[in-house]
């Protein structure tokens, strides 16, 4: 056999080697696609407590990462900084953030059946006061009484500090919301001086950052649809909702029940009527000198998510 016949075919070896090198890659499992995530902000005892109790996230094609806040102001700061995608707040703090230039929009509205009964000014039982104190409710009370909007002197504290200040007499009254109304009146010697019924329409909003609306619209659309189902569950299962709220917050059962009864929330489509009602709210802030934006209030609302749950 001559040398040519003895010499191995180098081209064949190279081809075999190349094929061998490709084989492991061809057999390797495909990399899993990352699971989509929606970052949801909740005030303690609100959105998260309801959604988890109702079980509406079962089967969601994305992961919800929860962040909990003690009040609306830090929640809105996180939303404006794109640290969270969506979160629930009352209309007054939402409008305040919008007026301050936050790039956020309301994508889902909900309303208390008592139209303001979930917000109240609480005073000690022996207090002689008959109408004053506290931000938006304070302004509405003063406005209705035809008093100057600076006739009272608000002190801005956390809910826990407010409760302590009221007990010690450091403040005359506390403008607050459920569940703190129940904590102040059911377990301490306080009474409701006035609540928001007849003073405003009682809207609250799920606000989303403009960045999230642009990048996560399908997730937001699915989430608000599930949230509407959660509110329906809460209205038809008040005892289960009460127990879940008490577990989540550590509040007594009677306070949890009082909070749910005061709120009795239902979703409300974002319509021109909602914008008109909120324009009146923002105008009051402007008259009080605590909001100066001239931007049209209609820019604060995105009605395109209505169809996700109202069909």
Say which residues have a Cβ less than 8 Å from residue 69's Cβ, sequence separation at least 6: 41, 42, 43, 44, 75, 78, 87
The arithmetic mean of pLDDT across residues 141-168, rounded, is 68
Tell me the pairing of strands 37-43 and 63-69: parallel
pLDDT in tens, 8-42: 444 443 333 333 344 444 445 555 656 799 999 99
Quote the distance between the C-alpha of residue 199 and its chain's center: 22
Quote the distance between the C-alpha of residue 252 and its chain's center: 23
Question: If you ran DSSP here, which 8-state letter would residue 216 be given?
Answer: -
pLDDT in tens, 75-101: 999 999 999 999 999 888 898 888 888
Which of 20-24, 94-98, 241-245, 270-274 bottoms out in mean pLDDT, i.e. has the lowest? 20-24
The arithmetic mean of pLDDT across residues 249-277, rounded, is 89
Q: Are the C-beta atoms of 87 and 207 separated by less than 8 Å?
A: yes
Instruction: Please state, in angstroms and rounded to a whole number, the distance separating the CA atoms of residues 174 and 165.
Output: 9
Largest Cα–Cα separation, the chain: 120
Beta bridge partners of residue 114, listed in sequence order: none
Q: In this prediction, what percent of the chain has a pLDDT beyond 90?
A: 39
Q: Are the C-beta atoms of 143 and 149 separated by less than 8 Å?
A: yes
Reply yes or no: is the peptide bond before residue 179 cis, omega within 30 of 0. yes
Residue 117 binned pLDDT confidence (cut-offs 50, 70, 90): low
Total Cβ atoms within 10 A of residue 81: 11
Token code pair at residue 206: 């799920």
Phi, psi of 294 (to 5 degrees): -105, 5
Instruction: Please state, in angstroms and rounded to a whole number, the distance separating the CA atoms of residues 244 and 222.
Output: 23
- Per-residue pLDDT at 166 exceeds 70: yes
- The pLDDT assigned to 254 comes to 93
Token code pair at residue 143: 């406005």
- Per-residue pLDDT at 116 exceeds 80: no
Tell me the pairing of strands 174-177 and 119-124: antiparallel
The whole-chain average pLDDT of the chain stands at: 79
Helix (H) or strand (E) run with residue 240 in it: helix 238-249
SS3 147: coil
């Amino acid at each position: 056999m001559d040398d040519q016949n003895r010499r191995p075919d180098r081209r064949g070896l190279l081809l075999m080697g190349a094929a061998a090198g490709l084989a492991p890659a061809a057999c390797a499992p495909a990399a899993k696609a990352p699971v989509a995530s929606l970052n949801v902000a909740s005030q303690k005892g609100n959105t998260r407590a309801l959604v988890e109790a109702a079980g509406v996230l079962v089967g969601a094609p994305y992961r919800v990462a929860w962040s909990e806040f003690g009040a609306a102001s830090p929640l809105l700061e996180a939303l404006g900084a794109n640290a969270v995608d969506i979160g629930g707040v009352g209309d007054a703090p939402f409008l305040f953030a919008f007026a301050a230039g936050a790039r956020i929009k309301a994508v889902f509205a909900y309303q208390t059946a008592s139209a303001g009964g979930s917000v109240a000014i609480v005073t000690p039982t022996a207090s002689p006061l008959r109408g004053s104190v506290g931000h938006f409710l304070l302004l509405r009370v003063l406005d209705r009484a035809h008093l100057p909007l600076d006739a009272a002197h608000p002190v801005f504290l956390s809910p826990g500090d407010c409760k302590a200040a009221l007990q010690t007499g450091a403040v005359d009254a506390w403008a607050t919301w459920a569940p703190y109304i129940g904590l102040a009146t059911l377990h301490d010697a306080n009474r409701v001086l006035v609540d928001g019924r007849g003073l405003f329409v009682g809207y609250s909003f799920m606000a989303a950052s403009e960045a999230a609306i642009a990048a996560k619209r399908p997730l937001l659309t699915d989430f608000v649809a599930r949230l509407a189902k959660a509110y329906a569950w809460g209205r038809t299962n008040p005892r289960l909702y009460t127990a879940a709220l008490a577990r989540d917050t550590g509040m007594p059962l009677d306070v949890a029940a009082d909070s749910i009864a005061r709120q009795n929330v239902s979703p409300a489509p974002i319509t021109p009527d909602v914008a008109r009602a909120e324009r009146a709210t923002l105008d009051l802030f402007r008259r009080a000198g605590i909001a100066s934006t001239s931007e049209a209030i209609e820019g604060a609302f995105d009605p395109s998510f209505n169809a996700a749950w109202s069909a």
